[in-house]
Amino acid sequence: MRTYRIGGALAEASRTAAFGVVGGSYLVAGLGAALTWQLAGSQHPLTSALYADLVATLLVFAASMVLANASVYDPYWSVAPPLVLVGWIVATEDGIALRQFLVTALVTVWALRLTANWARGWSGLRHEDWRYRQLRAQTRGRLPWWLVNLAGIQLMPTLVVFAGLLSGWPAVAGNRAFGPLDVLAVLVTVAAIGLEAVADGQLRRFAADPANRGRICDRGLWRYSRHPNYLGEIAFWWGLWLFGLAADPTWWWTVIGPLTVLTLFVGATIPLMERRSVDRRPGYAAHRREVPMLLPRPPVRRRIPD
């Protein structure tokens, strides 16, 4: 196909050029989302944001097909949320300014760190996530790749993140006075961002040491949880829900957002990562018995034979 020839040619582009191509693709997606938002201006801000989010996803999907690289979508998880929140703040005439500032600031910090973490590990257009390559191989001959890419890799995460963001609307539009639940929301969200950042940094330093090749990371936070970075990501969305609950308790039902994120990680992301680790790292099965999947506990002491 012509798209794959284009993607193959660009795969050899420099890392800087690759970021330029992806940045240009996201700029086009952003313009498409902004236009959609304007055209849907008579709708509720939640509906307008959903339409804009879907249009942006479709445009990023188109770019991923032209470039023959599904990982073009990867930063979308963290790029979209702060933009949606800003749109909602502009659209509302209510809300508590302090809460709006804190929610937007924390989501922006989370987004910048997560996007930077992706950029640090992305080597260019020749780099595609191993999970996508595996999915392509597993579905080849059974389903068209464009459908797998759109539905499984791009559209599904967009809807999961949007579900997580539902509580962001009452968080910025609700006018209940700033109170203790907001303080708890700040503490949970800051702790979640910090946990994820520290865990990612520890894993990056561990993997960078050639002496650790093929070994299991069981240092620092990874000694107490097999996936402390994912625990931080899950906790972040619970923090956002607490902000929404503090601002307007009638929106309690937006708890479906963090529950959806939790289901994604526990039901799909973590099992896939763990199956790969079992296959590639000797001793990982024993590691699973000794270290909990998410919630930390004191490490199990290995019994020393007499």
Using 50 as the pLDDT threshold, list the residues of the chain that sit under it.
1-4, 304-306
Q: What does the pLDDT read at residue 15? A: 84
Q: How far is CA 64 from CA 70, 132, 197, 233, 248, in A?
A: 5, 12, 28, 25, 39
CA–CA separation, 31 and 234 (whole Å): 30
Token pair of 210 as six digits:
């050639």
Q: What does the pLDDT read at residue 294? A: 95
Residue 166, number of CB atoms within 10 A of its CB: 23
Question: Residue ranges of the alpha helices (H) in 214-306?
Answer: 228-247, 256-264, 270-280, 284-290
Residue 161, number of CB atoms within 10 A of its CB: 22
Q: What does the pLDDT read at residue 14? A: 83
pTM, rounded to two decimals: 0.91
Q: What does the pLDDT read at residue 280? A: 86
Reference 265, options 216, 226, 291; nearest CA is 226
Q: What does the pLDDT read at residue 306? A: 40
Q: What does the pLDDT read at residue 29? A: 97
Tens digits of residue pLDDT in 151-172: 999 999 999 999 999 999 999 9
Residue 149, number of CB atoms within 10 A of its CB: 22
Q: What does the pLDDT read at residue 3? A: 47
Angle made by CA atoms 139, 275, 138, in degrees to the nearest 5: 5
